[in-house]
Amino acid sequence: MDLIVFNTKNEANVYVAGLIVQEINKNAFLTLGLATGETPKGIYNDLIKRYRENKVSFKNITTFNLDEYIGLHPESPDSYHFYMQEKLFNHIDCPKENIHIPNGCAEDLNNECENYEKLIEESGGIELQLLGIGINGHIGFNEPGTAFDTHTHITKLAPSTIEANTPLLVEEKKLPSHALSMGLKTIRQAKKIILVAFGKQKADAIQRLLNGEVSEGFPASILKRHSDIKIVIDSELNNEL
Ligand code: GLP
């Protein structure tokens, strides 16, 4: 695992966006795995900027998002569908049919999970996966205790995740208790992974990722078995390590 430290979040965002653009410019038909949450917002801003400057086109890429809340419609400002439209897709040239986000309102959620996994496979697999990390070590919505061999599945949110994400709600009164998430196996199968974490609140999780053992009690630890992973952090986090 390569640990890369930047003085500021902004420098880290520019670096990560640069890596993504580099991959797209090497392979215009790239399959990209995307994340939501507070962390990637600046990366998406920088991608939009580069698109406006004609430095990259997203018209042939395919995207797969990590997760979505169960029960939130794509139009809900609290859904990850809405987030992705607002923060990235409304501003770039990625065709709608190339964008994949699990449907948390599907009638048959198990079927939705199976289909999602099949679509990833049919696309040739994720070449570059962008990840954040929860304070409890979750990646996607794979909470502590999730088996390492899981594919896309229904997951119950941990109390600490509910606590961390509830203040971000815009319209919903209550955070959904469950979500659909790519599994740990799905994530591990990505050819390259970039995990980004900012701020001192993520220091314990990154410390454990770097120095702890590989265990299903700490989902991100599966990444220690991956051969091409970069962990990008800011100095505020690094100072606490
Ligand atoms: C959320 C998402 C994850 C995200 C993580 C960190 O709950 N399900 O995909 O990476 O938790 O979020 P943030 O970047 O807001 O700290």
C-alpha separations of 175 from 66, 99, 161 in Å: 18, 24, 10
Choices 3.30.1950.10, 3.40.470.10, 3.40.50.1360, 3.40.50.720: CATH for 2-238: 3.40.50.1360
CB 197 within 8 A of CB 237: yes
C-alpha to C-alpha distance for 200 and 136, rounded to whole angstroms: 14
Q: How far is the CA of 133 from the centre of ligand 1 (A)?
A: 6
| Rounded distance from Cα 36 to ligand 1 centre (Å) | 6
Tens digits of per-residue pLDDT, 169-214?
Answer: 999 999 999 999 999 999 999 999 999 999 999 999 999 999 999 9
Output the six-digit token pair for 195.
């995990």
CA distance readout (Å), 52 to 25, 46, 86, 222? 15, 10, 16, 37
Compute, in angstroms, the gap from residue 119 CA to the centroid of ligand 1: 23
pLDDT tens digits along 78-129? 999 999 999 999 999 999 999 999 999 999 999 999 999 999 999 999 999 9
DSSP 3-state of 45: helix
Long-range contacts of 71-75 (CB under 8 A, 24+ apart): 71/104, 71/105, 71/176, 71/178, 72/104, 72/105, 72/172, 72/176, 73/105, 74/101, 74/103, 74/105
Taking the C-alpha atoms of residue 63 and residue 128, their distance in angstroms, rounded to an integer, is 10
pLDDT in tens, 146-165: 999 999 999 999 999 999 99
Structure tokens at 131: 């990840």
Query: Between β-strands 178-181 and 67-69, what pairing exists: parallel, antiparallel or unpaired?
Result: antiparallel
At 221 the pLDDT is: 98
Atom of ligand 1 nearest to the CA of 157: 7
Where are the strands (E) in 9-140, listed by range?
31-34, 62-65, 67-69, 99-100, 128-131
Residue to substitute in 131, 138, 223 for testing ligand 1 pocket (most ligand atoms within 8 angstroms of CB): 138
137 lines ligand 1 (CB under 6 A): no
d(CA 152, CA 139): 12
228 is catalytic: no
DSSP summary character for residue 105: T
* 138 CA from centroid of ligand 1 (Å): 8
The question of whether 91 is a catalytic residue gets the answer no
Atom index in ligand 1 nearest the CA of residue 35 equals 9
ipTM, two decimals: 0.96
Residue of 46, 67, 117, 234 with catalytic role = 67
Domain chopping of the chain, boundaries:
2-238
Question: Is 136 designated active site?
Answer: yes
